[in-house]
Amino acid sequence: MCGIVGYIGSQAINSIMLDGLKELEYRGYDSAGIAVMQDEGIRSFKAVGKLENLRNKVAEYEPEGFGVGIGHTRWATHGKPTELNAHPHNLTHSYVVHNGIIENYQEIKSSLTTECISQTDSEVIVHLFEAKLEQLDDPWLAFQKMIHELHGAFAILLITEKLPGTVFFAKKGSPLQISLAETGCYFGSSDAPMLEHCQESLYLEDGHMGYASENEISLVDWQGKTVEPVFKAMASSRFSAQKEGYRFFIEKEIYEQSQILTESLMGRLDDNQIKLEELEPEWLLKYTSITICACGTSYHAAMVASYLLERLAKIPVNITIASEFRYREPILDSNCLFVVISQSGETADTLEVLKVVKQQGMSVLALCNVDNSSIVRESDVSILLRAGIEKSVASTKAFSAQVMALWLLATYWGQLRKTLSSKRLSQEIQAMRQAHQAVTVPAEMHERIHRLSKRCLHGHGFFFIGRDIFYPLALEGALKLKEISYLHAEGYPAGEMKHGPIALADAELFTIALMGKTLLYDKIKSNVEELSARDATIIAITSETFALADDIIQIKGQEHPMLEFFEMLIAVQLLAMEVAIRLGHDVDMPRNLAKSVTVE
């Protein structure tokens, strides 16, 4: 995800900014930039790729004395990772850096008299600010008016030659903090870039905005009421700052899923329709079937999609594992849309399939988390997952972002093909809007899973079972557990157990039953009863009471299957993590695995 730094003071401003951005590298980025304001005006530098490229560009400019700076590392979500799209964005007098997504940027763009030159949503901020400034001739008033017109999520720093020595800031939905030290005023999107200079920080709350000088902060809430800044102690070390308070990256990423699902919907939902601006309606409508190809966790997302696409868009779906597809001499149909899914965008098996399919004249849509990746470059069209960098080798947040993107795709296609009634469409949209709550980890659930995990350290194996969309979730739960705990686990369709695997059932066999009440509850209940009758140890994940379970991980329960899916997803992810921690494994870097599998 993007990162922000800022500084007001008389220390070596370039080093503070560039070193600060370096501390944010762990969040992932594909371009970076800074803007520095001194008496003679504002200078800005941007570069694509590593921070070294930016450092080289800035090398010949060494500002001395007092200055104001803002800086940014960008993870592309709207527009390619190019210099033009990198932040800071500017207009005549002002520069801005922004994290988050401006949902109504198209609307703002069309109301402007000035022309935006980048493909980003962020650039409209500085244009709108200058338009307000022109009308009001008061930078603080203009800033407040501008902020009130933005919909979406943002952490914003803005500087303008009209008010030297000042940084304007605002926060809604994306983190932003400010610290005052003897050496000046520091800004950051997390503790990491500030730790070297300050001990405590003002963590802005949603709706807070204001302006700061070298040694003073003026802060107001959304209603314009003055707020007294309250400073709190920051993380104790750089390493813990990067984990943002969590013990492991995987834990941070599991908890981040709520924010990611919110961001993945931004600009893509209206009250009663889906907007996927990446996909031209005429282009999508010409396809009469779909093949989805991926590996590992991404393949599980494809499996979920196979249920959703058939149900919502009434379109025939074929899903396939990349390493298998390549060598099966597939028969391709040009009326079939070929989709590849990949977190990294570099997985060799998936990339090779993509090349083979392209050579045969097929169009390919990629769902990917990394904009400048090989898979995005080779594909005709791509939908970016907006999950930010995933540090933990075992994928968690990228999976939920994939599932959300596929749910959007299926609903959008259904909307275009008119296979959904308006009632059903609005039910799906309403459920999508609640998804971020469903993946919010309840403290009591985490505690329960932590306690329960000590019972799962032995035994001769785990079966994760589910039906319908909870079957691919069972596969994903089993994959997570085996990857990081090194215990044997299998995912199975619950109804299939009686066709063989039930022979394994005894007290040492753990069955994790994904018993969503919204889909085939009675069916899975009898499948679990069959296992219980053979003395298997049952851990049920459910919102219902189920007397035959040895243990229950209680979920709140939802009316929509996808919301139950997301609730159960965090339960299986946490279970895998807690078991692996108890076994003393490196949960972020499990043995024998690599984050990006670039070999066949």
| Catalytic site positions | 2, 595
Nearer to ligand F6R, 72 or 397 (CB): 397
Residue of minimal CB distance from ligand F6R? 296
Q: What element of type H or E holds 98?
A: strand 94-102
Tokens of 59: 């090398």
The sign of the torsion formed by the CA atoms of 172, 1, 247, 345 equals positive
Residue 87 identity (one-letter amino acid): H
Buried/exposed 430-457: b ≥16 CB within 10 Å, e otherwise: ebbeebbebbbbeeebbebbbebbeebe
Nearest to 449, CA basis, from 575, 589, 271:
575
Tokens of 418: 């008119």
Q: For residue 537, give the 3-state DSSP assignment.
A: strand
Could you give the C-alpha distances from 54 to 96, 192, 286, in angstroms and in order? 17, 19, 44
Find the shortest distance in angstroms from Cβ 589 to ligand F6R. Answer: 12
Q: Which residue has the tokens 């990857």?
A: 483
Nearer to ligand F6R, 261 or 393 (CB): 393
| Separation between Cα atoms, residue 518 and residue 562, nearest integer Å | 9
| Separation between Cα atoms, residue 395 and residue 342, nearest integer Å | 11
What is the longest distance spanned by two Cα atoms in the chain?
81
Find the shortest distance in angstroms from Cβ 368 to ligand F6R. Answer: 8
Q: Which residue has the tokens 């307000």?
A: 132
Nearer to ligand F6R, 186 or 399 (CB): 399
Could you give the C-alpha distances from 573 to 93, 483, 526, 562, 597, in angstroms and in order? 48, 11, 25, 16, 21
Nearer to ligand F6R, 213 or 344 (CB): 344
Find the shortest distance in angstroms from Cβ 347 to ligand F6R. Answer: 3
Spatial contact of 14 and 58, defined as CB atoms under 8 Å apart: yes
Nearer to ligand F6R, 353 or 524 (CB): 353
Find the shortest distance in angstroms from Cβ 284 to ligand F6R. Answer: 23
Find the shortest distance in angstroms from Cβ 492 to ligand F6R. Answer: 18
Strands 317-321 and 289-294: parallel
Chain residues in the site for ligand F6R (CB under 6 A): 295-298, 342-344, 347, 350, 394-395, 479, 483, 597
Find the shortest distance in angstroms from Cβ 458 to ligand F6R. Answer: 24
Nearer to ligand F6R, 87 or 397 (CB): 397
